[in-house]
Amino acid sequence: MKTKHKNIARRSITRHWLTNSLGAVTVILVLLEVLLIILVRNYYYSSARQYLTSRMKIVTTAIMNTSGEEQTNYNAQIRSIVETYEDKDKIELMAIKTNGEADVTSSGFSPSGMDNMQDYIDAKKSDSGTASQIYELETGEKVLAMTSVISPKGSEYEAVRMLSSMKNIDSQIVMLSIIMTGVVLAIIALMLFSGLFFIKSIVIPIRNVNDVARKFATGDFRERIEKQRDDELGELCDSINYMAQELSNTEQMKNEFISSVSHELRTPLTAIKGWTETVTVMYDDQETFRKGMRVITSETERLSQMVEELLDFSRIQDNRLTLIMDTIDILAELGETVLIYQERARALGITLNYYEPEMLSFVYGDKNRLRQVFINIVDNAIKYSDKGDTVSVEAYEEDGEICISISDTGIGISKEDLPKIKTKFFKANHTRRGSGIGLAVADEIIQRHGGTLDIDSQQGVGTTVMITLPCMQSSGGEKSENNSTVDVELISSEPIESQEELNTDESETR
């Protein structure tokens, strides 16, 4: 069935070409050939008439020069001119009496059998006294007849008539027609050969593209189309191969995302289930009960954040993400984000520095979505940092834009992964928690606010995320040189109860 489908497609392309291109050109060439044949025929026939007219004028001039002689001598002179006509091997000249009968001819043969003398009748009616006509004899041969009225007084002859065979002219026309037909057939054959060769050069690569594309449709992205030429088909092959590579990467990232999300969902559910069973049995132990409820609350919040993040991503994909825009103080949202992560940074042994300016211009945006972005970025900075590292948050205004820099001295991102870090489903480091869509959602939110989110990172050195947002209005004064600094070095002096409890506080990002 598949082979039949391909053959039908190939025949369809050939049929379309034969019908639309070659068929149209063939019709045009045939019409041109017919037109040329008609023009050539008219030209040759017109030339024959002109030649016969010039010869007739010579004869009539000679006859008129003898019109002053006596009647007997005049009639004899006409017969003499006809009988001794010098071009009688090409043209037959005859003298016609007043009764319409041909009396004498230059060939010496009896002119009987020429019943049709329409040219003679037309010449007597014509003002010029001359008329011509083409006749087809019983033998199939065509002749050109021309009659010129002389009508001298007292003469028994009324007109002279010339007959010229059109055989040679018709032969030349037929020869030229054959030559033109041969040229047309040669052009059509050349077009057919070159066209079929061209179609074959297109159909075969298209068949290969079709075969590989069908494999892509089934989810098999391993095969690639072989590029044979550097033309439009070659560019198409490159584009399809690139598409397959991107689909393969997306498919791989999607599978990794599903696996990662499944793991991220299973971890808090396992913790909730375990602590639920524990507090059920040990409900009388208040310390254990409080710890269990704290873990359950934390894990429930983490699940809620993860589900909300997935919903946001779904809304972005379907273009259903809505923003509730209002005039907001960006410092309030950023400061609240830093406060949220103070305790966590202290517990992990990470220094969190916040360089807060005295004042920034207002921003027109969705405060909840922007806080979501700040939380995501700060959470990533802490998550991808180790004990003893530093996370710095700084905000300032420059050239009518609010600039927020969040940097860390953590593990960083490799050069190979950095261009893909904001791609959906992508995770640069699978050893750290996160769904792989947090940065994609954050970048989309910032873009919808008319800003930018840029990431600069070096593996083993750290990462800097620069967020810029357009100011709603100018602050009206110069930015203070002495920004207040909140130096949060919250190194926990109390022992962390368990690594599992600590991990439950992490949110799903990057």
Question: Is residue 206 predicted with pLDDT exceeding 50?
Answer: yes
Extract the tokens encoding 430.
């699978």
Average pLDDT taken over every residue of the chain: 79
CATH number at residue 73: 3.30.450.20
Contact partners, residue 245, CB within 8 Å, separation at least 6: 221
User: Does some domain include residue 225?
Assistant: no
| Number of other CB atoms surrounding residue 311 within 10 Å | 13
User: Does some domain include residue 92?
Assistant: yes
The segment with the largest mean pLDDT, out of 197-201, 223-227, 363-367, 475-479, is 363-367
Choose between 447 and 116: higher pLDDT: 447
As a whole-number percent, the residues of the chain with pLDDT over 90 amount to 22
pLDDT, one tens digit per residue, over 40-91 is 999 999 999 999 999 999 988 888 776 655 555 778 888 888 888 888 888 8
* pLDDT confidence of residue 500: 37
Domain end, chosen from 142, 171, 200, is at 171
pTM for the whole thing? Answer: 0.46
User: Does some domain include residue 307?
Assistant: no
| Number of other CB atoms surrounding residue 457 within 10 Å | 23
Choose between 77 and 464: higher pLDDT: 464
Domain end, chosen from 171, 188, 221, is at 171
Domain end, chosen from 171, 186, 215, is at 171
* pLDDT confidence of residue 409: 92
Lowest mean pLDDT among 114-118, 162-166, 292-296, 327-331: 114-118
> Which pLDDT band holds residue 182 (cuts at 50, 70, 90)?
very high
Give DSSP secondary structure letters for 15-56: HHIIIIIIHHHHHHHHHHHHHHHHHHHHHHHHHHHHHHHHHH
Range of the domain at 375: 316-503
User: Does some domain include residue 311?
Assistant: no
pLDDT, one tens digit per residue, over 126-147 is 888 899 998 888 777 888 999 9
Give DSSP secondary structure letters for 75-111: HHHHHHHHHT-TTTTTEEEEEEETTS-EEEESS-S--
User: Does some domain include residue 227?
Assistant: no
* pLDDT confidence of residue 234: 80
As a whole-number percent, the residues of the chain with pLDDT over 70 amount to 81
CATH number at residue 427: 3.30.565.10
Count: domains in the chain: 2
User: Does some domain include residue 141?
Assistant: yes
User: Does some domain include residue 270?
Assistant: no
Question: Is residue 505 predicted with pLDDT exceeding 50?
Answer: no
Q: Any idea what the Cα angle at residue 235 is, between residues 232 and 236, rounded to 5°? A: 85
User: Does some domain include residue 321?
Assistant: yes
